[in-house]
Amino acid sequence: MQKIKKILAISGSTRQSSTNLNLINAIIELSKDAIDIKVFQGLSDIPHFNPDLDNETPPSSVASFRKQLKEADGILICTPEYAMGVPGTLKNAIDWTVSSCEFSHKPVALITASSVGEKGHTSLLETLKIIESNIPDSSQLLISYVQTKVSKDGKITDANTLEQVKELIASLVKSIVEK
């Protein structure tokens, strides 16, 4: 398999030791021979979306986020569900890309890893589709009760989840190659 140069991974959790970041680290380890994954740092630094600031010179953190999205061959989003929805910081960051179209036709994989996660997953999936992300069904995964399936040291401990994650990554790579 040809090595893909850039996947930008975004954790929807801002916690430094979140289960979603642990899952991203597990994926980095699993995929290190096939793809290069860079974890986006700075979700908390993006200001509240303000259409008046969404112009040719947006805030520097927004410009940096947009640049990293543009430079990536594909995007991996791994997020919890908060209060039956999308974490506010993640939704806010995505809102900053609506007018600039970084997600448009970009290969994206979405993992919602939470206690349950169904409502947040559905909500974020609809947002990604409306901004024209290339996100086939095989690049979507809901992992309920994730804390019983991913260890704190970044290992996927559940065999079924491990296979599902491998299939999702293969789907993301396929979307990139076919782009």
The pLDDT of 35-63, averaged and rounded, is 96
Tens of pLDDT, residue by residue over 87-135, are: 999 999 999 999 999 999 999 999 999 999 999 999 999 999 999 999 9
pLDDT confidence of residue 33: 86
Q: 107 near 172, Cβ under 8 Å?
A: yes
Contacts of 22 (CB under 8 A, 6+ apart): 150, 151, 152, 153, 154
Structural domain 4-178, CATH architecture = 3-Layer(aba) Sandwich (3.40)
Domain locations in the chain? 4-178
The sign one gets for the Cα dihedral 168, 80, 118, 66 is negative
Q: 2 near 177, Cβ under 8 Å?
A: yes
pLDDT class for 179, splitting at 50, 70, 90? confident
Query: Is pLDDT above 60 for 9?
Result: yes
Residue with tokens 């021979």: 33
User: Which strand (E) or helix (H) includes residue 111?
Assistant: strand 108-114
pLDDT confidence of residue 88: 97
Query: Is pLDDT above 60 for 146?
Result: yes
Q: What is the mean pLDDT of the chain?
A: 95
The pLDDT of 27-33, averaged and rounded, is 93
Q: pTM of the predicted model, to two decimals?
A: 0.95
User: Which strand (E) or helix (H) includes residue 154?
Assistant: none
3-state class of 39 per DSSP? Answer: strand
Question: What is the token pair recorded at 15?
Answer: 């916690």
pLDDT class for 48, splitting at 50, 70, 90? very high
Q: 43 near 89, Cβ under 8 Å?
A: yes
